[in-house]
């Protein structure tokens, strides 16, 4: 049956198979041969009655569609019956001799394969029990049938390059040159549409029915979702593949988390019949996406919506007929509205599940927790109300854990992004947070970026065996020491960030002193005051140019209000990575005092401390340079080294300030 949409009328072309008088009598069917055909249709319940009559005939008839008769009857011209109901709907029926090939069937069929089943049925069958997949998803596959996408590479490359020449029939014929099965025919049509037809936002908003027509779609190469689905169905039927257009609700452009659906349907997609079973696909969403800010369409192929597993397809597609869910048990509209919406990139990037499984989360004691399970290590990030703040995101080998602390009561939008194998973070989940309590004691630094704590990613970047595997470090006296092994050729840089106090861009590394001992790097940290701080860790390959790369950070917490540690001494370029400072660690020295110095310096001929005067350091048997310096009469003190005994040029390696009070 082919439906033609028009603003004023619906025209239906229907194939009606009529039995001979003897055959009807044999089956006990009594019809008045003089009765008005139009009245007959109405008395049998209108179009529904005709449809049921065809089904009854199909069940009783055992021969194939063309009905091989023992004796050929004389050819008779088809009889045309036209009927109108009381609303002006027109139904036209062709009545043929049983041995004649109906003209209407010839109109629909351009391939021998669309000759009907053994009962002569050319109408795609409705989905049944054998089409249904178990719900919820069993994690076996993203697809509804076994697929090896590698086998499509040659076909995909060919189909994407086919151009329109004269019309739809020739286009399909060209596409099928490299397709040798129904699956490949569907794939070729899918690839061509996804790479050539642009979503027409203007037509969608104006509900322009001209955008539905295949001829107009081929000419403009633009349409809306109805046009995509209609074109796909038409091309499949030309190719001899059973295909249906399925209308329904969708969680697409403009969808708001938790919204309800009512009224007319907002989307359309397709079902195709392959290998004895119905399968679902959406060429509209397979072709690209619409930017929510600009309402502009961008071609961005999405494999996810080709033969999608029905348990995943139902997350953003709710058909008008529950049978087209292809699920056992089917989901209700209320379930569709309330169920968590995992975006296609959630599955494309290897995620398996997320908790909570509802789109709306209520905080508990001011905190909301989200966990994601993935099939491989994955990088994540989040945004709360558009900012990367107020949360602790820690990576796990197969997923992540996120703890969010909304800064105010009310409703908040939480977005979660994943990187996967690409270089781009894509949105995979959205939650609505309802917060009715704010814990003022949990105020996180604005510079606390993601992720927090060491993980598989820090190992991948060359930081191994950390002394503190947890992301949060509590210190009672405002000091801590963190160490980890570092792969050969990797340089480490650290900086301290807090929202209050004296830390500036110039001094954020002065509260950290970095030491190297036996292939381990140690970070000594002194906090300038009580509070929460982000300790950021960066790495870089020594032999490669470019900037350091952020790897992770720790959250340092200190509740002791008496803490007031000074900065460490400032180090210069000649301070070697294997040097070690034992004392003095404070970057501010007391005035008018003799201050002891003890350092381990490698490859040094001489070392001295310079203040108002100069004091040499001596090398002891343990390999440390030792000595003392008076701070009287000076504002700064420097440690200087001579690398070559044959030279007289000393280099600065450390700088201290002298307290003037």
Instruction: Give rounded-to-5 percent helix, strand, coil for the chain.
Output: 20, 35, 45
Active-site residue, selected from the candidate residues 282, 316, 480, 497 = 282
Burial of 246 (0-12, 13-18, 19+ CB in 10 A): buried
194 has catalytic annotation: no
Residue 213 corresponds to which tokens in the numbers above? 């027509």
CA-based nearest residue to 589, from 524, 656, 652: 656
E strand or H helix at 155, and its extent? helix 153-161
Q: Are 285 and 302 in contact (CB under 8 A)?
A: yes
133 has catalytic annotation: no
Q: Are 65 and 96 in contact (CB under 8 A)?
A: no
Count of C-beta atoms within a 10 Å radius of residue 22: 8
Q: Please count the CA atoms within 13 angstroms of the CA of 427 that sit on its side-chain side.
A: 13
Residue 372 corresponds to which tokens in the numbers above? 């994601």
634 has catalytic annotation: no
- Looking at the DSSP bridge assignments, the partners of residue 42 are none
Write out the E strands in 345-471.
351-355, 360-362, 368-374, 380-384, 391-396, 399-404, 410-418, 426-435, 463-464
Q: Are 508 and 470 in contact (CB under 8 A)?
A: no
Pairing mode, strands 426-435 and 360-362: parallel
Give 378-396 as a DSSP string. --EEEEETTBS-SEEEEEE
**DSSP label at 403?**
E
- Looking at the DSSP bridge assignments, the partners of residue 243 are 272
Lay out the sheet containing 267-274: strands in order across: 277-281, 267-274, 243-250, 317-319
Sequence-distant (≥ 6) Cβ neighbours of residue 487 within 8 angstroms: 462, 463, 464
Active-site residue, selected from the candidate residues 133, 196, 267, 317 = 267
Residue 600 corresponds to which tokens in the numbers above? 């381990």
Residue 458 to residue 492: CA distance in whole angstroms: 12
- Work out the end-to-end distance of the chain between its first and last CA atoms, rounded to an integer number of angstroms: 96
Tell me the catalytic residues: 225, 267, 282
């Amino acid at each position: 049956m082919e439906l033609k949409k028009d603003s004023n009328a619906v025209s239906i072309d229907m194939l009606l198979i009529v039995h001979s008088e003897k055959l009807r009598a044999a089956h006990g069917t009594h019809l008045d041969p003089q009765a008005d055909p139009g009245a007959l249709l109405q008395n049998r319940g209108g179009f529904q009655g005709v449809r049921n009559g065809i089904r009854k005939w199909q069940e009783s008839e055992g021969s194939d569609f063309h009905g091989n008769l023992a004796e050929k009857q004389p050819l008779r011209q088809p009889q045309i019956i036209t009927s109108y109901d009381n609303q002006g709907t027109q139904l036209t029926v062709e009545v043929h001799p049983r041995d004649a090939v109906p003209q209407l069937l010839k109109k629909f069929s351009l391939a021998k394969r669309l000759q009907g089943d053994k009962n002569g049925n050319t109408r795609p069958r409705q989905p049944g029990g054998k089409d249904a997949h178990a719900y919820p998803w069993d994690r076996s596959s993203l697809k509804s049938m076994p697929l090896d996408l590698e086998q499509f590479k040659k076909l995909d490359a060919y189909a994407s390059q086919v151009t329109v020449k004269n019309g739809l029939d020739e286009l399909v014929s060209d596409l099928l040159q490299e397709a040798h099965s129904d699956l490949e025919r569907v794939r070729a049509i899918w690839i061509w549409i996804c790479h050539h037809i642009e979503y027409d936002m203007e037509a969608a908003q104006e509900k322009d029915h001209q955008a539905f027509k295949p001829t107009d779609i081929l000419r403009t190469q633009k349409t809306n979702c109805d046009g995509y689905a209609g074109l796909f169905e038409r091309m499949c039927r030309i190719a001899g593949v059973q295909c249906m257009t399925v209308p329904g609700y969708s969680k697409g452009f403009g969808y708001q988390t938790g919204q309800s659906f009512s009224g007319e349907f907002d989307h359309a997609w397709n079902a195709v019949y392959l290998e004895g079973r119905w399968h679902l696909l959406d060429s509209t969403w397979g072709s690209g996406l619409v930017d929510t800010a600009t309402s502009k369409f961008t071609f961005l192929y999405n494999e996810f919506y080709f033969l999608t597993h029905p348990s995943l397809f139902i997350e953003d597609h709710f058909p008008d007929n529950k049978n087209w869910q292809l699920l056992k048990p089917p989901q209700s509209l209320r379930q569709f509205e309330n169920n968590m919406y995992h975006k296609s990139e959630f599955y494309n990037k290897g995620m398996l599940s997320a908790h909570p499984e509802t789109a709306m989360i209520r905080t508990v004691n001011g905190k909301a927790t989200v966990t994601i399970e993935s099939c491989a290590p994955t990088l994540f990030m989040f945004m709360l109300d558009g900012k990367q703040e107020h949360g602790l995101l820690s990576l796990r080998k197969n997923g992540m854990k996120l703890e969010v602390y909304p800064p105010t009561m009310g409703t908040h939008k939480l977005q979660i992004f994943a990187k996967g194998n690409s270089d781009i973070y894509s949105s995979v989940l959205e939650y609505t947070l309802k917060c009715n309590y704010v814990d003022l004691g949990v105020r996180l630094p604005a510079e606390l970026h993601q992720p927090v704590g060491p993980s598989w990613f820090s190992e991948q970047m060359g930081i191994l065996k950390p002394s503190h595997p947890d992301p949060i470090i509590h210190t009672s006296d405002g000091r801590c020491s963190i160490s980890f092994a570092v792969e050969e050729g990797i340089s480490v840089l650290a900086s301290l960030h807090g929202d209050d106090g004296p830390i500036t861009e110039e001094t954020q590394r002065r509260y950290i002193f970095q030491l190297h001992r036996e292939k381990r790097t140690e970070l000594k940290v002194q906090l300038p005051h009580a509070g929460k701080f982000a300790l950021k860790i960066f790495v870089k390959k020594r032999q490669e140019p470019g900037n350091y790369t952020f790897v992770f950070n720790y959250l340092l917490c200190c509740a002791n209000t008496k803490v007031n540690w000074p900065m460490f001494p400032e180090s210069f370029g000649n301070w070697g990575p294997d040097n070690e400072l034992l004392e003095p660690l404070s970057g501010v020295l007391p005035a008018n005092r003799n201050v002891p110095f003890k350092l381990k310096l490698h490859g040094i001929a001489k070392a001295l401390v310079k203040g108002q005067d100069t004091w040499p350091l001596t090398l002891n048997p343990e390999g440390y340079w030792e000595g003392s310096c008076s701070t009287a009469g000076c504002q700064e003190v420097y440690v200087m080294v001579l690398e070559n005994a044959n030279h007289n040029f000393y280099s600065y390696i450390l700088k201290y300030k002298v307290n003037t009070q």
